[in-house]
Structure 1
Amino acid sequence: MKRRISWRDSPEDVVDYDREEVVRRMLKCLGVEDEEMDFTGKHRVCEEQGNPVREHSSSLRSCLVPRKDNKLDYEAESSHGKNNSNSRTTSSLKSGNSKPIMAHVVFNLNDVFLQLKREWFTETKHVNILYLGRWESTSQKHIEVEKSKDLEGLANLKYVKFLSLQGISGITGIPEPISKLWNLSVLDLRACHSLEVIPQGIGSLHNLTHLDLLECYLLSGMPKGLRELTNLVVLKGFEVQDSAEKSHSCTLEDLLAMKKLGKLSIHTEIEDFPRCSDLDVLAKFKQLRILTIEWGGNLFRDPDKGTVSTRTMTRTFTRKKVDEDVSPPSGVSLKLEKLDLKCYPRRSASTWLKPENLKELNRLYIRGGELRVLGQFEFEKVPTPWNNVKTLRLKYLTEMEMDWMEFRELFPEVEYLENVKCPKLTMFPCNAHGVWKDKKITF
């Protein structure tokens, strides 16, 4: 399960860890000190082969594993060594016979069909970290919940601070009782491809700091309740809609109540986004340093053939016809440190996408889309260089045309470059993996 760190990786992107490191980092978020964690010898939660260990005596971690009858089993760990070290605790579904499970961390190790009865949530009411969905960054395994209403039992988890349903199919709506999880800090709904509705009551989660809605392509809109999440630091997958569709949805301007927001990921079907009004709003986020914008490219793919509703077939890309060679005027300067653009729909960079408007930018990622001109063809004057950009990733840009000398004039301070499947970027001294590093820099 470990991912080896490759020399191809840039420093900020070595983010995949083994299971123990994931658990350690989440426990640290809950205030657990290093000396209280036991990840050595017989107390490890997993063997090197990735199988759950039954020999437990001093920690509070559990794994969900499938039984032959598809019901949930635990590989549970006792906190004080009172239980038999080889015991295996099975979730009892019979009323009156179940005992609370004291585990504070529960992972779905490899169960693919979740049968989550209300009694199961009652038994795990002490859990702080609940990972029911997919948690390996490279995994594509299918996980499915039998019925969305089975998640109503989440209301019993009064102490949960970290909840992940990532990659679970069959969840068409998040039940309203989730709004009662007042201690929740992190809610991960990434890649719930069947998800269509988020309850308005989500605004009651005032302690929420991280919300991930990436790859939830069937969401009908962002609930107005999102604007009540004033402690959010990270928001991923926010949908920006056309004005005709957003009367009942949370808007970009509504998010200004999030004074602590430092990382924002936007998905939109509007081709000329961000417009001047959008840029004015983005400039008002005082703490915003990392921005990702994705333009509708993923709507043309079938993310989950087994769960996509017929409504997907009728959703179309909002084509606002814009002159590709004329950028909308804007003098707005954004204090971004990292900008990630996916499926950029225009051939020329808009005025806001210029060095003079992104003076603090040091990481620029552009992946896919129609972009051809990034400032290298300004014949009437010397191109303004991106002097602060140190890390640059250019991927799947079939129209972008530039040679190495033009590139170095445009990006004189780049220390790390990725050039992946950009056939018109010529004479670039990248290695076989499309990577170039400044030899003067030690990573």
Structure 2
Amino acid sequence: MSQERALDEVVSPFLMQLSKARLLFLKLDEDNSFFEIKHLFQNIEKEAHEVENILKRVSRWEYEIINDFGGIARYLDDIVEEESHLISIRSKLQIVNAEMSNLKDRMKLPLHVPEIKPSVPALLPASSPTKFLPPSISRIITLPASIGELSNLMILDLHACHNLERLTERISSLQMLTHLDVSECYLLEGMPRGIGLLTELQVLKGFVIGGSTSNYSCRVAELVRLENLNKLSIYIGSKVAMTGDELNELENIKGLHSLTITWAVSLLKKGEEQQTSGATAMLTSLSLPLNLQKLDLRCFPGEKMPSWLSPSKLWRLKKLYFTGGMLNTLGDGSMSEVWKIEALRLKFLNDLVVEWTQVHETFPYLTFLEVYMCRKLESLPCDKDGVWMNGDKQEV
């Protein structure tokens, strides 16, 4: 039984029965044992509330352990999907090793369960850690301005803060920051201006292009200043407001090797009065960096391959992923150019229709193919896990 169920199904009914027993006792005539019984009731109630508090603390401890374990796992995801250099792999594995050691120490008996504290402190500590994760990641609404005082902060992990609505502009003071993760923070409507001042930034996940046109919002053009940025993920919100050439600025981020774009917008279907201009711009006004090696497109709102997605424009691309969306073809077969892509992932594409011969002709260098939940691609020669690998290659 989980701690939450214990609170709901055991502790609460126990306290209710205790209250009923006390009412019965108060109806009885007073005798010599009256004060002793009264004391027993008071002591039992006190003990029950202490047990309830311990269960809440253990539940919080369990949540934090699981959440931190998931955070450690994301480093392995980066290695599997991104890394090809031994130095970078070793660096990430050293982080995983250290984090796992700390996690194991926190799980040794006797357990040191946390006290129940407010979810977000009014002020951050004066010391400057290298990594910051909010105490209760699911409840944080806004990032305090005092985070700007953490001058040595290198990793700011706000992944999956589902209630997070706004970042502070003081984030631009974190000059040592190398990793900023605000992915899956779906209430964010924009990013604060000043991101372009984080010159050490290497990884930026969850950059929001949303509905805000205020001076608060950072634009893609700011990211061009980030010469060390090699991994970027963009979330295009449902209320898109941007200048026509904003996404063309992506091609000017010269060091970018990995790009993920997630669309929350969609093109309106035929018969409706007008199309969302911002969504249309997502398909036509987009230029990508020439040095891009991995491109991950999620919930792509178009049915055809866009003109900016071609071998001649992305001749260094090695990995191409499509997850969800309306795509129904990988091309009409008339394209004379072929991709040099080695890894292709196709997931949740119910409308996609493609034959194995076309895949082989369009992607002749392919060594790895994954197909998942694509009902019209069942004829492709994948194994039971939806994976095909070139037998002459051992790794992607």
Determine the structure 2 residue equivalent to 1:414.
366
The aligned amino acid for 1:338 is K
In structure 2, runs of 5+ residues without a counterpart are 1-65, 84-89, 267-274
Residue 187 (1) aligns with residue 153 (2):
no
Question: Shift of residue 241 of structure 1?
Answer: 2.8
CA 1:173/1:329 → structure 2, altered by over 3 Å: closer, same or farther? closer
- CA separation in 2, counterparts of 1:428 and 1:332? 30
Determine the structure 1 residue equivalent to 2:80.
12
Q: Deviations over 1:88-119 (max 9, x none)?
A: xxxxxxxxxxxxxxxxxxxxxxxxxx51xxxx
Determine the structure 2 residue equivalent to 1:319.
276
Matches within 5 A, 1:176-325: 176-241=145-210, 245-269=213-237, 277-296=245-264, 319-320=276-277
Q: Which has the higher strand share?
A: 1
Residue 53 (1) aligns with residue 108 (2):
yes
- CA separation in 1, counterparts of 2:360 and 2:239? 30
CA 1:38/1:406 → structure 2, altered by over 3 Å: closer, same or farther? closer
SS at match of 1:224: coil
Residue 157 (1) aligns with residue 127 (2):
yes
Question: Shift of residue 291 of structure 1?
Answer: 0.3
Highest CA radius of gyration, 1 or 2? 2
SS at match of 1:357: coil
- CA separation in 2, counterparts of 1:329 and 1:194? 31
Q: Deviations over 1:373-401 (max 9, x none)?
A: 222x14xx345321x10011000011111
Q: Deviations over 1:227-270 (max 9, x none)?
A: 2212111101001135x635431100112221111111000036
8 A Cα contact 2:250 2:288, kept in partner: no
The aligned amino acid for 1:364 is L
Q: Deviations over 1:201-235 (max 9, x none)?
A: 11110000110000111113211132221211110
- CA separation in 1, counterparts of 2:380 and 2:191? 43
Matches within 5 A, 1:81-120: 114-115=116-117
Q: TM-score, normalised by structure 2?
A: 0.68
Question: Shift of residue 162 of structure 1?
Answer: 1.3
Q: Deviations over 1:306-340 (max 9, x none)?
A: xxxxxxxxxxxx9338789x963778663200000
Q: Which has the higher helix share?
A: 2
Question: Shift of residue 293 of structure 1?
Answer: 0.2
8 A Cα contact 1:166 1:192, kept in partner: no
SS at match of 1:355: coil
Matches within 5 A, 1:12-51: 12-13=80-81, 25-26=94-95, 45=102
Question: Shift of residue 164 of structure 1?
Answer: 2.2
Question: Shift of residue 418 of structure 1?
Answer: 0.3
8 A Cα contact 2:209 2:240, kept in partner: no
In structure 1, runs of 5+ residues without a counterpart are 16-20, 29-36, 56-63, 73-113, 116-145, 299-317
The aligned amino acid for 2:133 is S
Q: CA RMSD in A?
A: 3.8
Determine the structure 1 residue equivalent to 2:315.
359
Question: Shift of residue 51 of structure 1?
Answer: 6.9
SS at match of 2:194: helix
- CA separation in 1, counterparts of 2:252 and 2:314? 15
Determine the structure 1 residue equivalent to 2:346.
394
The aligned amino acid for 2:108 is V
8 A Cα contact 1:330 1:351, kept in partner: no
SS at match of 2:312: helix
- CA separation in 1, counterparts of 2:112 and 2:146? 26
CA 1:10/1:201 → structure 2, altered by over 3 Å: closer, same or farther? closer
1:385 to 338, 349, 363: 338
Q: TM-score, normalised by structure 1?
A: 0.61
